Structure 1
């Protein structure tokens, strides 16, 4: 049973698994987990608005700063995603989330006490480790609160926290920095240090809210051995889905992170946008991602209700194709800032794929493996996307096209390569996904 959540029989009547009934507490749970997701993206992105003062105070160069912004966080976030997924499948997920939120919040605040590159790097490592706990556990909890026919919308709403958090970091980060600078901050601390403290500490107040969220008592996980039994054999048996699907997710992550990392440079270098307006411009356009997450999840659920076969993968293929076309159009055909923003608006409306993708993962994977399989998704999109995306653009820009003024061509090259490969991999995963979903339905899991 669900603590505080009702269940009913599957609408097809074939499966022995009771499907959850959506209640008020289900949506309260979504709201709490969404708040935590937004907070996580604010905490990880706020540093990008304070690059110059951090460099000046700590005496860092661009390479050290880039490591703090990307590698220091991404490596540990990706490395600990699967262990955190394992923990969420073995132990109560609410406690995993509570410790993760509290841990990354303390680590974000600790960034404000850093006095050297090494100290700041260690704090960023800890932020990545703490944030790695949220996604596998949170999405698995939602999978227990909503029936499969409504998972797309529920997960889409939760996933929109990634867009909202990134946008909010850009939109409120500047005013927070200006306010701290205006009031004088705290004696003995620089403005950027106080900002880290202010942004990190609210998480300690938000973390206990997770215990309002109901969590299914997983009777099937009674011992450590049972929790681990069969996960790697299951991956081996289903490689025909696992390999192409998560490869496609990796390529989709590459284009997302490539654009996110280099769009500011393109706006200033090519489109002549003033540096002071870049954050507002990007934050405003990224807010469209909120619509994309919710609308995409709703549309997938509508396809499922209409009996569309392979609804989730069909949506992922169509949405990624539109995102690829709009991304290429932005850098090949836009001859003005307004035209560029129109193309990018279409991109941010269609690129959100987390909800449908994780809904599919929870449909094809046994329930006892949900958190770990979601963690593989996190590993794919972050280890490959966050690390390879920005670096690939830089390589094409410098080595192939001849210099920083050609950053738009570098972004175009990454899109032109990654999008077709992702689409091919999604298509290759369809037959195996179909077999796995049918197997899970027959098993009543």
Structure 2
């Protein structure tokens, strides 16, 4: 038995030494996920003209249709990931959604585009939970928020660069070509992920918890759900992230359209001069947030990470709202970028805290439950709510209906601020 144990220790040491490769590839996979998902934001206006769609239909394509399949299929796939190879699931999922994104480019009507978006949602359902589970096994609690913040760069850079690439390709060759350009490279990346992403032992970075939990059988899916439901801090974190995502998906999903309709910008201007700087500012926000959260956790305890999020969101809120009031484009954009600098902080620390609170053998399941709420409610209802409100306000407000629809959703932000603050209070009480 000694040689077997020694070989396992050597393998685990190698996995930990090369964990940066795994983190980089998982971040790149997340990047492609959001690029393929959010490219629709810059293409809404040409798709609306080409296929004669309403804002409500665009909201369905941007959010609810995608989110239903993405969120609900994430649960059984996460269950599979808690039992089998997470790396293989991620690679297969990446291949599926990349093919379906390319097929969006050949859709000839609303129904065909809707079905292709369903396929994108089905594919992307298998990437997030297994990725978070792998990262949690590779990085200990004191480094996990920073690692998750790096992983969350995929959200911010993927969405921003997707808009930039999509806008430029659509301007030159049409929106269909843009879908093909961002979809096809993901198939190659799927092979690279399969070959080079590590599959660490579960609980590799939580030695003490492994000793406590290794003799316990794998809980059922229902018990996994109840375990989260009976953890008040986890409930508040998931609720806070869900509402934050609802506001975020609504505003980023319609942001390029708003800049074109209400601010008089062209699609190319938004793609080249707004998307990339916004992605870089958001990425800096995520990295800064992860570093601050880890430092505060080391000094005051993990509960302080939830308070960091609440504080940063409080600073961002007035700038995010004022963006819709300024008539001056430079001033409005200034407020927009300041809000982005603080708004992206929540991603890494929230993912890290939920993985910390989750039982070791349910990490993928808890990640999937979180994404179920975030995407079914946040992604599913956020863009749809803006589209529906815009259609309802259009008779009275004309071209400005989108402005006030987005403002109405932005005003929800104080609710998740309270939820994050409360999560920190509950975590501190539990630690005492």
Q: TM-score, normalised by structure 2?
A: 0.84
Q: 1:434 to 1:133 in 2, by over 3 A?
A: farther
In the alignment, which of 184, 197, 212 is matched to residue 196 of structure 2? 212
In the alignment, which of 402, 406, 410 is matched to residue 411 of structure 1? 406
Is 1:291–2:275 an aligned residue pair? no
User: Which residue of the partner structure matches residue 349 of structure 2?
Assistant: 356
The answer to whether the Cα contact below 8 Å between 2:38 and 2:253 also exists between their aligned partners in 1 is no
Q: 1:232 to 1:65 in 2, by over 3 A?
A: closer
Q: 1:317 to 1:48 in 2, by over 3 A?
A: closer
Q: 1:108 to 1:309 in 2, by over 3 A?
A: closer
Q: Following superposition of structure 1 onto structure 2, how do residues 33-432 of structure 1 map, counting pairs within 5 Å?
A: 33-51=26-44, 54=47, 63-177=56-170, 181=173, 192-210=175-193, 211-218=195-202, 226=218, 228=220, 230-238=223-231, 240-283=232-275, 284-308=277-301, 310-332=303-325, 334-352=326-344, 353-394=346-387, 402-403=396-397, 404-416=399-411, 418-432=412-426
Number of equivalent positions: 411
The whole-number CA distance in structure 2 between the counterparts of 1:338 and 1:271 is 10
The whole-number CA distance in structure 1 between the counterparts of 2:120 and 2:216 is 28
1:191-224 residue CA offsets vs partner (Å, 9 max, x unmatched): 5444433322211211122232222234989999
The answer to whether the Cα contact below 8 Å between 1:89 and 1:227 also exists between their aligned partners in 2 is no
- Gap runs ≥5 in structure 2: 1-7, 204-209
Q: TM-score, normalised by structure 1?
A: 0.82
Using the TM superposition, give the Cα deviation of residue 245 of structure 1 relative to its aligned residue in structure 2, in angstroms: 2.4
User: Which residue of the partner structure matches residue 188 of structure 1?
Assistant: none
- Gap runs ≥5 in structure 1: 8-19, 182-190, 439-445
Q: 1:324 to 1:226 in 2, by over 3 A?
A: same
The whole-number CA distance in structure 2 between the counterparts of 1:71 and 1:319 is 28
The whole-number CA distance in structure 2 between the counterparts of 1:58 and 1:394 is 16
Moved more, 205-214 or 393-402: 393-402
Give me the CA root mean square deviation: 3.1
In the alignment, which of 3, 8, 13 is matched to residue 6 of structure 1? 13
Q: 1:419 to 1:194 in 2, by over 3 A?
A: closer
Using the TM superposition, give the Cα deviation of residue 100 of structure 1 relative to its aligned residue in structure 2, in angstroms: 0.6
Q: 1:400 to 1:116 in 2, by over 3 A?
A: closer
Using the TM superposition, give the Cα deviation of residue 324 of structure 1 relative to its aligned residue in structure 2, in angstroms: 1.4
Indicate the structure with greater helix content.
2
Secondary structure of 1:331 counterpart: coil
